[in-house]
Amino acid sequence: MNVANLGPLEIIKLAIFYAGYLYFPAAFFLAFLIARRKMATKITAAFALLILSTLAYARFIEPRMLLTVEHEAALDRCIPEAGSARLAVFSDTHEGLFKNAAPIDRIIARVNAANPDAVFIAGDFVYFLDPARHEETFAALAAAKAPVFAVLGNHDVGLPGPDVGAPLGEALSRLGVVMLDDAITTATMNGAEIEIVGLSELWAKNQNRALLEARGDRPRLVLTHNPSTILELKPREAVDLLLAGHTHGGQINIPVLNCILLKPMCRVTLYGFSQEERGLVFVTSGTGMVGLPMRFNRAPRIDVINLSWRAC
């Protein structure tokens, strides 16, 4: 990352990132006040220490957590033969500006331990990462034991930030990732043939949703970055399960308040499953950060979906 290439807003974010280290001398000073001063000063210092410690937790501790969360889901429609598949889903790694994002090798080690049939990455790989470092940063993806399918997100294609979609997609492809921006493929999972449709970033306004018009008798998974894609679909554009990211689960997750301050992020859901008119959606909460270099009440995670469907 070249600081000279950053805008004023990103420089401010980076300054906040490093300013977090001031917590340690501040905490020492406040502890001194609590130990040595009058009661009113003790109470004020204790309250300040509590606030600073909460921010320090969000800056230094929670972003370094990595959870594996299991979910159960069943398709609404029947398929000629009953079956099941185990899907690992993560997104929003945002490698680049902030150094406390979960490293890819740690993510893939955890994914492999979950033993999925396939891995789905729902975009936003980078956040001001030098394109020359794309392949080395994501090299651990080549060690995934299951097939990896991915799409790009808004930060990957310059909405906002630099558009690095082309070199990033090429680097990921060299690592064995199947890039599915406006593309369709099939994969065999646990003995069942499954159709996978990838849709490009919604904000780029050029999604090829015609790929969704003819649905056959195989389960159909749709991978895209922005979950609001489901709200743009026409009745003939069919989805069994749409996998997305983008919301970070709120990142700094304060119930109720998040959806007041971040209303567009709550058009579907911040995290988890949502049954929409056009199909079932699952939104993963990501492993990295944008904006503030913090996570609170929404630790980085890999979601593992045990998907099943009944026979007709």
SS (H, E, C) 135-167: HHHCHHHHHCCCCEEEECCCCCECCCCCECHHH
Q: For domain 66-309, is the CATH number 3.60.21.10?
A: yes
What is the per-residue pLDDT for 196? 99
Bridge-based pairing of strands 220-223 and 192-198 is: parallel
277, 85 contact by CB (below 8 A): no
Apex CA 247: angle with CA 245 and CA 253, to 5°?
Answer: 130
- The Cβ of residue 182 has, within 10 Å, a number of other Cβ atoms equal to 18
Q: Mind listing the pLDDT tens digit of every residue in the chain (312 residues)? A: 666 678 889 999 999 999 999 999 999 999 999 998 788 888 999 999 999 999 999 999 999 999 999 999 999 999 999 999 999 999 999 999 998 889 999 999 999 999 999 999 999 999 999 999 999 999 999 999 999 999 999 999 999 999 999 999 999 999 999 999 999 999 999 999 999 999 999 999 999 999 999 889 999 999 999 999 999 999 999 999 999 999 999 999 998 888 888 888 889 999 999 999 999 999 999 999 999 999 999 999 999 999 999 999
What confidence score (pLDDT) does residue 90 get? 99
CB 155 within 8 A of CB 161: yes
**Segment (H or E) for 222:** strand 220-223
pTM: 0.95
- What is the model's pLDDT at position 73? 98
Which residue has 């490698």 as its token pair?
95
Domain(s) labelled CATH 3.60.21.10 in the chain stretch across: 66-309
| Rounded Cα distance, 250 and 227, in Å | 14
How far from each other are the two terminal CA atoms of the chain, in whole angstroms?
A: 54
Q: How confident is the model at residue 85, as a pLDDT? A: 99
Could you give the 3-state DSSP secondary structure of residue 267?
coil
Query: Residue 111 is encoded by which pair of tokens?
Result: 């994914």
